[in-house]
Structure formats: structure tokens, C-alpha cells
Amino acid sequence: MSSAAEQFASNINLSSFAKAEELKKRLLFTLGALIVYRLGTYIPLPGINPDAFSQQFQSQTGGLLGTLNIFAGGAVERMAIFALNIMPYISASIILQLMTSVIPKLEQLKKEGEQGRREINQYTRYLTVLLATLQGYFIAVNLQNSGNTGGIPIVIEPGPFFLITTVVTLVGGVMFLLWLGEQITARGIGNGVSLIIFAGIVAELPRAALGLLALGRGTAGAQSLPVGIVLLVIVMSFALIAFVVFMERSQRRIVVQYPRRQVGMRMTQGEKSHLPLKLNTAGVIPPIFASSLILLPATAAGAIGQDSPEWLQNLQIMFAPGRPLYMTLYAAGILAFTFVYTSVVFNVQDVADNLKKYGGFIQGYRPGARTAEYLDYVLTRLTVIGGLYLTFVCMMPEFLRAAYPSIPVYLGGTSLLIVVSVTLDTVGQIQGHLLAQQYESLIKKSKLRGGKR
């Protein structure tokens, strides 16, 4: 049955896409929503001088602001109303998911189905507002402490009013993007929140590629790179893309056997199915969360400004991207969060209980505890490979930028992981819509033929 479905799916062509009116409407809605998002990344915060901030930003592209700018689609560089992007919501979602395994009330809500999911989503929104408020306040204070750039003040009129308007604007931008992402998920194609981050990264990639070519041509002044290094970066980028696609599509299929059943006077034969375990169950969450935690000292030092204590300034230097301590903790954080997040999103005990509930079992293992132990055994080994894979993809560009700091920060492992993962997921949903369209047309034709008879 599965092979027939795969063969049927392979026959989907452009003619079936032309007939899929619903799919075209969803694609147009998604495109329109992303255009609205991109327009918002060019609207500056009220009360700042965008040109003065842009000049100061150029000296910090390799640090915290450069990292945040990757996911904000250049909005941080322009200090736009969407400078925080959707990242506070991502952080809030991760925190709530981790807390569900610690707080019994949240774990109970998770098991209550749709109603519990809605309540957890509401808590996530509250936490998003709190995190966005804190981050917005840090940004506002940091802007006021930045002073002048070439004699031009970054903040036109510093004071409490500027702090309040900046925080309100940034929090409003986050919540608007959250609403926009939900609309894309409901009325468009793909996961809306993921597509917003994807659009920001992809929009800045052409500029990063042109900057890399300018470095190779020697038109970037003192920051020029040897042609061989530029070619190495290009080849490595394509190789990493192919490697990420292969690893993201890889999975371990565990055969699940269902017993024979008697229906009336007939005995139906036992069925077999597969329980797919992805090699990278955690997705792109571990690199994002690890980098966010490591950059906390830089965030605190930037918020305090020149009055920050010496030990915090030293800590900020030690945790700067490209430093040995940063890369060591970054790699360790990715590995640790891969295991933690995998255990949260894939509960082996719940899976084993569900198999037992519906009569399924894995050959050679008793339903229940023994099945859970076997699944944990397999998942642990897959997670080791997945964690090493994530660490390798994220650390390769870091080592390269440590040797050549002028390499654009957009050509990093985390951004590449997000782009490839979201692309695979969105293409899969488009194929699913086309497949459903084909099935509907076949059913209509069969009904018409049946009616004629």
C-alpha cells in the first residue's frame, strides 16, 4: 500500500498544480503575509537615527547584534519595529516545553488534548510578552547608552518616554508577527513562525553572498580574502546543504506488529506498520537555545553600557563569537540540549503505552516497560548521532570565521539548518495538498462512472 502511494505521489506534475485552486490561494496568502513582514523590517523605531545606528552596527556584526540580525532578516541592523522578530516566542515555547516535564500541572494539561494545548499556548503567549518586554528594555537602554556616532546621536531625545515607546513598539512587533504566523499556519502553507524566520534569513542571503564575492575580488579593502578561501566557503556551503538534507531525511523505522482480529466470522490477518524515528528529533532548537544562553553576558553588558563592571566586560569578551570558550560551550550546549529536547518532544513511555493500548507490539519485546526500554535504547543512539551532526554543521562555519572574521555571519550553520528544514517541511506540505487534490479528482471520476452504470 505504501509503495503504491509513493508511486502515485511521484506522478504529481505541473498540471495537477494548475488545477489545485485551494493550494494556489494558500500560496498567495503566504506570499502576501511574508511581504508584509519584510516591509515591517524597514520601518525604524521612533526616536532613533537609523543612519547613525547602522554605522555603529557595522563594528559589531560578528557579536550579539550580528547573531540576532540573522534571524531578524536585517531588522536589527536597521533597528526596525520587528527587530526582536519572533525569537521571544521561540524561547518561550522552548521554556514551556521543558517545564512540562518538570511541572505536573503542565504535564497533565499536555495530556488533555486540544483544550490543554490551547491553555499551554496561552501561557506561552504570556511568557512571550514578558521575554519581549525584558529584551525590548535591554535594547532601549543599550541604544541610550550608545552615545554618538560621528557626532550624530543615535537616540534623538533620550529619556523615560523613549524607553516606554521603544519597549511598547518592540513588544507590539513581536505579537503582530506571532499573529501573522498563526494566520499563515491556518490559511497558508507551512508553519507560519518557521516561515517568518526562514524569510528573514533568505532575504539577507543574497547580500551576504555578494559580500563574500567582494572579499574575493579584493574590493573590500583590508578585509579581502584569498580566492581559495572564498571558493572553499562556497563549496562547503553546498556540501553542507546536501549533508543537512540527507541527515534531515534519515530515519530509523521500527517495525510494529498488530495481532490478528476476528471481525464477525472472518479472521483478519495481522498488519505491520513502521514507527519512524528521525535521526534529528530535536530539529534546530538546540543550536538556537545554546547560542541564546551563551550570549546572555553580552546582552547584560550591552544593556548596562560603559558602567558595567570590569568582570562583566571581561566575560563579554570571553563569550564573544569566535573565542575558544564560546565555541567550546556552544558545542557542549548543542549536545546537551539535543538530549534534553529530544526527551521532551518524544516520550518513549507514552509511545509504548499508546502501542499497548491499540494492540501493537515490537517483535521480541513485551508491550509496556520492555518496549519503552527498547525505544529508549534506540532513541539514545540516534540522538548521539543527531547531536554530533548538529554540532558539526554549526561548528564548521564558526571555526572558519574564527580564522577569517570577515566571512559574512549569515553563512552560518544555524541559519543553514533553518532554511533547509523549513524548505523540506513546506515542500512536503505542498506535495500533500497536491496528493489530496489527485485523490479527490479520482474519487469524483469513480462516482461519475458508478452513476452512469
Residues 189 and 269 in one domain: no
Residues 191 and 289 in one domain: no
Residues 104 and 171 in one domain: yes
Residue 395 lies in a domain: yes
Residue 435 lies in a domain: no
Q: What is the pLDDT of residue 4?
A: 42
For residue 323, the 8-state DSSP code is S
How much of the chain, in percent, has pLDDT values that exceed 70? 79
Residues 263 and 136 in one domain: no
Classify burial at 236, counting beta carbons within 10 Å of its beta carbon; exposed 0-12, middle 13-18, buried 19 or more.
Answer: middle
Average pLDDT for 289-315: 66
Tens of pLDDT, residue by residue over 103-133, are 888 878 877 777 888 888 899 999 999 999 9
Q: What is the pLDDT of residue 128?
A: 93
Residues 249 and 382 in one domain: yes
Cα(417)–Cα(338) distance, integer angstroms: 14
Residues 214 and 89 in one domain: yes
* Highest mean predicted confidence (pLDDT) among 271-275, 296-300, 421-425, 443-447: 421-425
Residues 153 and 197 in one domain: yes
Residues 257 and 283 in one domain: yes
Q: Please report, to the nearest 10 degrees, the dihedral formed by the alpha carbons of residues 289, 292, 294, 295 taken in order.
A: 170
Residue 217 lies in a domain: yes
Residue 4 lies in a domain: no
Cα(22)–Cα(29) distance, integer angstroms: 11
Residue 270 lies in a domain: yes
Residues 132 and 232 in one domain: no
Average pLDDT for 417-423: 87
DSSP per-residue letters across 139-184: HHHHHHHT-EETTEESBSS-SHHHHHHHHHHHHHHHHHHHHHHHHH
Residues 237 and 254 in one domain: yes
Q: Let me know how long the chain is.
A: 453
Q: Which of 190, 225, 260 is the last residue of a domain?
A: 225
Q: What is the pLDDT of the chain when averaged over all its residues? A: 79
HSE, side-chain direction, 13 A CA sphere, residue 155: 18
For the chain, the domain total comes to 2
Residue 80 lies in a domain: yes
Structural domain including 83 reads 19-225
CA nearest neighbour of 415 among 22, 27, 72, 16: 72
Integer angstrom CA distances of residue 197 from 31, 139, 181, 431, 433 = 14, 20, 10, 22, 23
Tens of pLDDT, residue by residue over 390-401, are 999 888 877 877
Residues 48 and 37 in one domain: yes
Tens of pLDDT, residue by residue over 177-188, are 999 999 999 998
Q: Between 101 and 371, where is the model more confident?
A: 371
Tens of pLDDT, residue by residue over 241-278, are 889 889 988 888 888 887 766 555 665 566 778 888 88
Tens of pLDDT, residue by residue over 130-167, are 999 988 888 888 788 776 666 677 888 888 898 999 99
CATH number, residue 279? 1.10.3370.10
Say if residue 71's pLDDT is above 80.
no
Question: Picking from 215-219, 389-393, 401-405, which range would have the lowest pLDDT averaged per residue?
Answer: 215-219
Q: Which of 225, 255, 280 is the last residue of a domain?
A: 225
Angle at 190 (CA atoms; ends 286, 125), nearest 5 degrees: 60
Q: What is the pLDDT of residue 1?
A: 40
Residue 274 lies in a domain: yes
Residue 7 lies in a domain: no
Q: Which of 368, 383, 405 is the last residue of a domain?
A: 405
Residues 250 and 375 in one domain: yes
